[in-house]
Amino acid sequence: MSAVRENGVIVAIDGPSGAGKSSLTKLLAQRLGYIHIDTGAMFRAVALMSKRAGIATDDDARLAELCRGLDVTFVRDGASCRVLANGEDVSTEIRTEEIGLLTSAISARKPVREALLTMQRAMGAKGGVILEGRDIGTVVFPDAEVKFFLSASAEERGRRRYLELAARGDSATLEETIAKVIQRDKQDEGREHAPLKQADDALPIDSTSLSIEEVLSVMENAVRERLAQGDKG
């Protein structure tokens, strides 16, 4: 177990779509005074920009060129965070289901993963960060001091996403939403590069029957226990 870093520990939260990663990362970051790094938003920004540029999802050369010229940053907006791509606020545009599915295809490409891996490691190396994604504990920071793998049944994750979309006026049915969650799971788990999987040393949390507050309590206790170990860990 590595010593605590300059700004604190690195916390990795991985898991499939709709498991609650963003919700819990935001709350846990507030509790700890840590920085929230939404790596999914970074992949979504690449997907949005590639769509605008008319780049095919398997055109690695053009995807690599796009990533070289792309600067993805996070800007605090009260209790929330805005996502900027080359200075443009793309926070809303990257959240559509269309972009979510496109992102799942784009994020399977090696040049995209290599480019964002470099950015993510630079953002989190000094600690005091919580990164959420699919490969944080396995690829980005395999030496993270605290790792969680947050999951829930596909039906529950689809139900959560359905409620979220309905609140935004989206007309997708529950059945359609569950099917899209399962489709994204298969794409994320089945790809060659950095597939979604639980790190061997990650604490698994099945949130199917747990409230956000219950999950947050488990996570916060685990992080504070590690912090109490300090450099002895």
Ligand X SMILES: Nc1ncnc2c1ncn2[C@@H]1O[C@H](COP(=O)(O)OP(=O)(O)OP(=O)(O)O)[C@@H](O)[C@H]1O
Ligand Y SMILES: Nc1ccn([C@@H]2O[C@H](COP(=O)(O)O)[C@@H](O)[C@H]2O)c(=O)n1
Enumerate binding residues for ligand X (CB under 6 A).
Answer: 15, 17-23, 40, 160-161, 164, 207, 210-212, 215
Residue 157 near ligand Y by CB under 6 A: no
Residue 26 neighbours by CB under 8 Å, 6+ apart: 36, 79, 80, 81
Residue 161 near ligand Y by CB under 6 A: no
Smallest gap from Cβ 149 to ligand X, in A, equals 11
Residue 107 near ligand Y by CB under 6 A: yes
Residue 134 near ligand Y by CB under 6 A: yes
Cα-based distances in Å from 222 to 42, 116, 151: 27, 28, 17
Residue 104 near ligand Y by CB under 6 A: yes
The interface partner of residue 104, options being ligand X, ligand Y, none and the CB cut-off 5 to 8 Å by kind, is ligand Y
Is the Cβ of residue 4 or residue 63 nearer to ligand Y in the bound state? Answer: 63
Q: Is 153 annotated as a binding residue?
A: no
Is the Cβ of residue 4 or residue 184 nearer to ligand Y in the bound state? Answer: 184
Of residues 132, 100, 142, the one with CA closest to residue 24: 132
Q: Is 16 annotated as a binding residue?
A: yes
Q: Is 50 annotated as a binding residue?
A: no
Cα-based distances in Å from 62 to 33, 103, 111, 187: 38, 16, 10, 22
Residue 184 neighbours by CB under 8 Å, 6+ apart: 16, 17, 100, 101, 104
Instruction: Report yes or no: 55 and 24 within 8 Å, Cβ to Cβ.
Output: no
The interface partner of residue 43, options being ligand X, ligand Y, none and the CB cut-off 5 to 8 Å by kind, is ligand Y
* 145-162 burial code (b ≥16 CB/10 A, e <16): bbbbbbbbebebbbbbbb
Smallest gap from Cβ 184 to ligand Y, in A, equals 5
Q: Is 22 annotated as a binding residue?
A: yes
- Count the residues of the shown chain that bind ligand Y, applying the rule CB under 6 A: 15
Residue 39, token pair as written in the block: 């790596």
Smallest gap from Cβ 121 to ligand X, in A, equals 20
Q: At what angle do helices 60-68 and 110-124 cross, to 10 degrees?
A: 20
Indicate the length of the chain as a whole number: 233
Q: Is 23 annotated as a binding residue?
A: yes
Is the Cβ of residue 57 or residue 104 nearer to ligand X in the bound state? Answer: 104
Residue 158 near ligand Y by CB under 6 A: no
Residue 57 near ligand Y by CB under 6 A: no
Torsion (CA) 191, 110, 107, 66 in degrees, nearest 10: -160
Q: Which residues are annotated as a binding site for ATP?
A: 15-23
